[in-house]
Structures are given as C-alpha cells and as structure tokens.
Amino acid sequence: MKNFSNPNFGMRKHAKKKRREMDKINKINIYDTLSSMAHAYIPQQYHLPTYLQQWVPGITPLSTLEGVASAIVAYLAIIFGGRELMRGREPFKLKIAFQLHNTVLYVGSGVLLALMAEEVVPMIYKHGFYYSICSEEAWTDKLEFYYIINYYFKYIELIDTVFLVLKKKPLAFLHVFHHAATAALCYTQLEGRTAVSWVVISLNLAVHVLMYYYYYATAGGARIWWKKYLTTMQITQFIIDIFIVYFATYQHYGYRWGWPHVGDCTGSRFAAFCGCGLLTSYLFLFIAFYVKTYKSVGRRTSVKKAVTEAGTAPVPVSK
C-alpha cells in the first residue's frame, strides 16, 4: 500500500513524472536520424572531417583573425567593385537563383534551429536556464558543431548582397555592415566559447526562417501581409539578446571583481565585449530603420520607394 503521508512519496512521484517527460523529449532524436542517414547514403570518404565538426583554430576553415579579415575585405571588394562594373549595364533578373538561395537559407535555418532546440531544451529542463547560458559544460560538442554550421551560414548569406549588386539595388549601410560584422561576431564567439551563444543564434535562426521564406515567396510574386512585423521581430530579437548577453557579461565580471552576482559565466572577455557592442549597434540601427521606414511623415511614398529599392520589401537582412 502506498504511503501518501510520506513526504518522500511526492518527491519520487515528481521525479518519475520528470523522467517520463524527458523520455518524451528524447524520443525523437533529429541529430541521430540525420547522422544515420548520412552514414547510410554518403560514402565514407565524403564524411565531414573532425576539423569541420570541432573548432580547431588554424585548421578549421576561417578560424583565424587573418582569415576572417581577408574574407570580409574580399566581400567588400566584390560588392563595391561589382557595383562599379554594373554601371551602364542592365540589371539581372535571377529569379530562380534568388529563390533557390533563399530556400537553402530558410530550410537550413529551420533544421539548425530544431537541432539546437533538441540539445538545449533538455539541458534547461535538467539544469536550469542559468546553467545553460553560463556553465562551461553548456558548451557541448553538438552545440559547437551547430555553431560552426551557423558561422558558415553567415558567409553564404553574404551572397544576399551579391544579388543586390547584380540587380542594381542600392547598398544600404545597415545591410553591408550587418552582414560583414555578424560573420566576425560569430567568429569571436567560437573563439571565446561563450555558453550564451545559443540564445542569440536560436532567436536569429527563428527570424531567418520567416525572413528568407518571405524573400523566397515575394520573389515568386506572392504578397505577404506580415512584412512589417519582420522588422519588429528583429528589434525584439536584439532586445532579448542584449538583456541576456549583458546579464551573462555582468556575471562574468561580477564573479571576478567582487560585485553582487549569481555565479561565474564562461567565455572570454573579448568575446563578451564584441557581443555587447555589436548587438547594441544592431538594435539602434534597426530601430532607426524602422522609424525611417514606417513612422516618418508621408510614409506611403517612402515605403513604396523602400520596397522598390530593396527589390522585395523594406526588411533589412538580419543575422
């Protein structure tokens, strides 16, 4: 007979319930499914080498400051040089190529988001949110692999600007700065091993699923009523990012300098500085864009102009 008066009974019952819930979470494992498919259908010689699954400075492609700087300089040279070459030429249509590019990014972002959720949700459930953003153990091998994939996505996303150049669309400062700076930001976080990285990346991937789908759909002639809300989502994303990243950074310094704190937060100081600085700049730039595009006097004309210049809609590409 069960002893309901025993205080340990309720605790054991809760523990069993928690284990059942965890079993449900782990029942469908996307990573293992994709890994099994890859091993079954992709020849051994084409499997990913270790240096593409783990961050090895100097060996993993684009894992040095010199490599990142060279890539960004090349990006700027190509887009501004390409803009000069396109002067006096007819713009390219590139509808199919543009839709394919955006399909790769919105589908890829969705899959990567699901994989990260599969790793992070059980961690939060078992250890709590603070552990998941601050503990050194929260930087798992799988998450590191996902961060590397996300990092390489940033270089694929640079092609966004190439399409603007070939279509002879204006190169807005926000667009160019945001693309280049985010590639560098992802590099600093991989180097600094900041446990909080999954928060920023997950929110960004969620926005990108909708954003790149939007670009894909509108390139095919679809009318999307929620285009304005994409910019609102981007601004909300940066507000959440800043709140959590600033909190984690404060914990890092508070632990070392004797300020009131919850505990230590793993990650290098340089990575924390880059994260706080760039995310803050993004927030102000996107708010300025939103005000200029939607809130100024005579917005009907300005929005129409912004739609025409962007080639799709006045939604800045967010990373």
Express each pLDDT in 44-53 by its tens digit: 888 899 999 9
CB 113 within 8 A of CB 206: yes
Q: pLDDT digits over 251-310, tens only? A: 999 999 999 999 999 999 999 999 999 999 999 999 999 998 887 645 555 554 554 444
The pLDDT value recorded for residue 40 is 83
- Looking at residue 33, its pLDDT comes to 86
Smallest Cα–Cα separation from 34: which of 111, 119, 145? Answer: 111
- pLDDT at position 299 is 53
Q: How confident is the model at residue 312 (pLDDT cuts 50, 70, 90)?
A: very low
Residue with tokens 């070459």: 85
What is the pLDDT at residue 92? 95
Q: How far is CA 293 from CA 120, 286, 287, in A?
A: 36, 10, 10
H helix or E strand, kind and range, residue 60: none
Helix (H, G, I), strand (E, B), or coil: what is residue 112?
A: helix
What is the Cα–Cα distance from 141 to 143, expressed in whole angstroms?
Answer: 6
pLDDT, mean of residues 95-116: 98
Q: What is the mean pLDDT of residues 113-122?
A: 98
Quick one: pLDDT at residue 12? 59
User: At residue 319, does pLDDT exceed 50?
Assistant: no
pLDDT digits (tens, 9 = 90+) for 159-201: 999 999 999 999 999 999 999 999 999 999 999 999 999 999 9
